[in-house]
Amino acid sequence: MKIQVFTEGKTEEKVIKKLKQFFPGRTFETIDCKGKNNINSRIDDELGPDIGQQPVRALILRDKDPGETIKRIIQSVNNRLGGILNQRGISTSLQFQRVAGVWNVFVWNAASVDFRLAIHIASRRALSTLTKSTIDDLVLRLAFDPNVATILAQRQNVNVNGQVIIQKVTQEIPALLQQNGFPPLSEAKDYARLYAAVTRMHTSPPVFAGKVLASANTHLVQQNFASIIAAIEALQ
Amino acid sequence: MIERIIIHRFRGIRQGHIDRLRKVNLFIGPNNSGKTALLELLYLSATCGRPAIFIREDLLPDETGTLPARTALAHDFSGHPPFQRLRQRHGKRGEWKDNPATLTRERGIAVRLDMLKNDVRGPDAPWAEFRLEPPLPEWGEKDIYAFEQTDLSQIALFSLPQPKALDVSMIPATFAEAGIQPGDADWHYLWEPDWVYRWNLQHPLDRLAVWTTHGSKPDPARVLFYDTIAASSHLTTSFAQWAYNTVADWHEDIANCMAQIFPSLKEATIEVADAPDNQPGRTGYVRFRGQTPLGIDQFGDGARQAFKLIAHFVALAATVDESHPGMVLWEEPEVFQNPATLGRLLDVVVHLLKDKPIQVFITTQSLEVIAHLTRMLQRDILPPEQTLAFRLNLRDGVLRSSWFNRNNLTSWLESGRDPRVLEDIDAPLQFQLREEVHEDSSLYGG
């Protein structure tokens, strides 16, 4: 059965592509909603005709912006889903449950209409100074592993030790910028671009994500994205 | 406008319903999912316009024993007897010779349900017989509603328009469970066995196909069923004569529409005249200045099909009004049409029917039709609040439907998903919504 994955951007597509290996036989369709504000309406547009007609499995990958709370994010999806079901003449109670042992994944299971929806809310920052928790943070955490950084550098023909790259990206360059009056870097994407520049990738955060994921071993990927894997497992 | 249909044992549908019907409705879905069945059901119910009185002696003197009824008109908009036409669509003779019906002394019809063919005989039922009697004519008026011998092989259906009450034996259990009240809808009863879902007979009423239609029905004389058979037949003489006498500039309007669909016909005039070789019916003749007229049937299938369609649609659009609303049942517009022609054909039809009190039901297997209508929705050429596509699904005799509005259709087509199919299929080509198949500047404002 296909799992439809609703995302805010394109980085998530690379992540899902990598995580597929842990779910043989499963197909995934990633839907880039181009921002968090479009996710609810895309769910309506994409899933509405299928709910109640055939089994539906869906996953929402959400970032958490400053000021947002998990409760408010869940409430917003809950309200929209309620509206969709009501519009489609489906009466079923709607309640997201936290997935056991994973505090940032919630699942809604409507057995009567064979519909399961999980929400994963990114909740880890790659660096304590960052203001949001995003999918890029998870990618960056992986890129900050010294072994991954070394492999990345080798693949880019940059003859520098991984630990040095991490040091430059996380401390020296940001400090230099600040000393020269630039405001501090506040998002994981900023660091991803910096990292990409240092390693001569000349590319965007989603492509950077793809390269980072390709440089990490299975165990590390599994560990780093354990909460997303748990969200997919909750849809089984 | 018909807004809702609830069905008990019609053709392959054991039970089901479809809600939220709009002015423009597109039925899509796999083969054998009930698309054509719904068109036929709508056609049969909408052409029930001949008044009669339904009588069940076994219920009298209760008020449910005699109710105002309607049965099939002798001819539909295009001049065909409705029930005969549908029988022929299914490979049978038009006349139903085995109808267990006889003429009564009052020139009504008495129907013996207990004499129906064995293959659908249900459990023993109290409802074994009923009559359809003609309403009494006013003094001095002709008894136009009296039934004739020929009606016995052409009538297999009656409707009860919003009856005040119904005996429990006439209400399918699923309708009762859904809380449908007699006065909520028009109730339709069809007793020819081949139209009745034939498996799992459990209740006496299972011998009949029963359905309700909710909302206001069209004028029965303005119901056009345009199917693939109509596309390959001549116009009936009665329709062609009526249209010629009733619709001002009928020939000119047909010619204009045809020129929009087929630019090579821009300089041509069109006339409707007798079919060749002394055949019954009429057909179109295309005339270019200074040249001998050429029968439309000499053209390719696409042009023939378009001509017959347009001849009907022009006449219907010109003769409906709020007191006489129409209904169009259009089966597979894509048949015979090149995609570019199909796009122009749909544009012309939408032009014709737009702003007219006509409810439209289209079945299609074509992604191009879906994509073209979606584009019309995106551009507000078709009003989004008056248009829905329904994907039908018939499994184990249960009809289900899910609807697609403008946003659903747009989203699905743009992300490469196919709203016609229920499961993933190994499609040989990936499609995408093409931005421009052609441009009709008059439609799109420049």
Of A41, A42, A49, the CB nearest to B391: A49
- For residue B419, the distance in angstroms to the closest alpha carbon of chain A comes to 9
Instruction: Please report the pLDDT score of residue B445 as a whole number.
Output: 44
Q: Do B412 and A89 touch (CB under 8 A)?
A: no
Strand A105-110 vs strand A115-121: parallel, antiparallel, or unpaired? antiparallel
Residue B90: partners with Cβ closer than 8 Å, 6 or more residues away: B194
Token pair of B105 as six digits: 């002394």
Better-predicted residue by pLDDT, B316 or A67: B316
Nearest CA in chain B to A44: B408
d(CA B250, CA B246): 9
Cα distance between residue A26 and residue A23, in whole Å: 6
Task: Please give the sequence-ordered ranges of beta strands (E in DSSP) within A71-196, or none if there are none.
Answer: 97-98, 105-110, 115-121
For residue B413 the two structure tokens come to 């087509």
Cis, bond preceding B61 (omega within 30 deg of 0): yes
Contacts of A48 in chain B (CB under 8 A): 402, 404, 408
Residue from the list A27, A49, A53 with its beta carbon closest to the beta carbon of B408: A49
How do residues B237-261 score in pLDDT, each as one tens digit?
999 999 999 999 999 999 999 999 9
- What's CA B437's distance to the chain center, in Å? 29
Distance CA B327, CA B360 (A): 6
pLDDT for residue B249:
95
Q: What is the pLDDT of residue B121?
A: 52
Residues B411, A52: C-beta atoms closer than 8 Å:
no
Q: Cβ contact (<8 Å) for A53 and B408?
A: no
Q: Contact B407/A44, CB-based, under 8 Å?
A: yes
What's phi and psi for B210, nearest 5 deg?
-130, 135
Is residue A118 scored above 50 in pLDDT?
Answer: yes
Q: Is A50 close to B404, i.e. CB distance below 8 A?
A: no
Tell me whether residues B393 and A53 touch, CB distance under 8 A. Answer: yes
* Domain residue ranges of chain A, discontinuous segments joined by +: 2-123+224-233, 135-217
A31 touching B, CB under 8 A? Answer: yes
Distance from CA of B414 to the nearest CA of A (A): 11
Instruction: Give the Cα separation of A215 and A229 in Å (integer).
Output: 19
For an interface test with A, which of B19, B391, B408 has the most A Cβ atoms less than 10 Å from its Cβ?
Answer: B408
At B300, which amino acid appears? G
- Record: fold of A2-123+224-233: Rossmann fold (3.40.50)
Structure tokens at B25: 């409705």
Residues of A in contact with B400 (CB under 8 A): 52-53
Q: Do A54 and B404 touch (CB under 8 A)?
A: no
Contact state of A45 with B391 under an 8 Å Cβ cutoff:
no
Would you state the pLDDT for residue B427?
66
Q: Which residues of B touch A53 (CB under 8 A)?
A: 391, 393, 400, 402, 422
> Rounded CA gap, A187 and A64, in Å?
12
Are residues A46 and B412, on separate chains, in Cβ contact within 8 Å?
Answer: yes
Mark out chain B residues that contact chain A at CB-CB < 8 A: 19, 391, 393, 400, 402-404, 407-408, 410-412, 415, 417, 419, 422-424
> Within a 10 A sphere around the Cβ of B371, how many other Cβ atoms?
20
Residue of B nearest to A33 (CA): B411
CA distance B33 to chain A (A): 13
Encoded tokens for A164: 């040095």
Pair of tokens at residue B117: 């063919």
Q: Are B99 and B200 in contact (CB under 8 A)?
A: no
Cβ separation of B408 and A2 shorter than 8 Å? no
Contact assignment for B402 to A45 by CB distance below 8 Å: no
Share of chain A above pLDDT 70, in %: 100
Chain A residues in contact with B424 by the CB 8 A cut-off are: 2, 27
0.80 exceeded by the pTM? yes
| Residue numbers of chain B with a pLDDT score lower than 70 | 117-125, 424-446
| Structure confidence at residue B257 (pLDDT) | 97
| Contact residues on chain B for A39, CB-CB shorter than 8 A | none
Chains A & B: contacts with CB separation below 8 Å? 41
Is A32's Cβ below 8 Å from some Cβ in B?
no
- Which residue, among B318, B316, B181, has the nearest Cα to B248 in the 3D structure? B318
- Which residue's structure tokens are 């997919």? A232
Contact of B76 with B225, CB cutoff 8 Å: yes
Higher pLDDT, B437 or A87: A87
A42 touches chain B (CB under 8 A): yes
* pLDDT at site B127: 84
Of all residues in chain A, the one with the smallest CA distance to B422 is A54
Residue of B400, B408, B424 lying closest to A53 (CB–CB):
B400
Interhelix angle A205-215/A188-198, nearest 10 degrees: 70
Distance between CA atoms of residues A82 and A84, nearest Å = 6
Give A30 to chain B, closest Cα distance, Å.
10
Q: Which of A2, A42, A89 sits opposite B411 (nearest CB)?
A: A42
Q: Do B408 and A42 touch (CB under 8 A)?
A: no
Considering only CB atoms, which chain A residues are within 8 Å of B408?
44-46, 48-49
In whole angstroms, what is the distance from residue B152 CA to residue B132 CA? 11
Q: What is the pLDDT of residue B122?
A: 56
| Shortest CA gap B16–chain A (Å) | 13
The 3-state DSSP composition of chain A as helix, strand, coil percent (nearest 5) reads 50, 15, 35
ipTM for this prediction: 0.81
Burial code (b: 16+ CB inside 10 Å, e: under 16) for B163-173 equals: beebbeebbbe
**CB-based contact, A89 to chain B, within 8 Å:** yes
Q: ∠B173-B174-B176 over CA atoms, to 5°? A: 65
Q: Looking at residue B203, what is its pLDDT?
A: 84
Interchain pair A50, B402: CB under 8 A: yes
Q: Is A161 on the interface with B (CB under 8 A)?
A: no
Most distant CA atoms of chain B, gap in Å: 73
- Decide if A54 and B422 are in contact by the 8 Å CB cutoff: yes
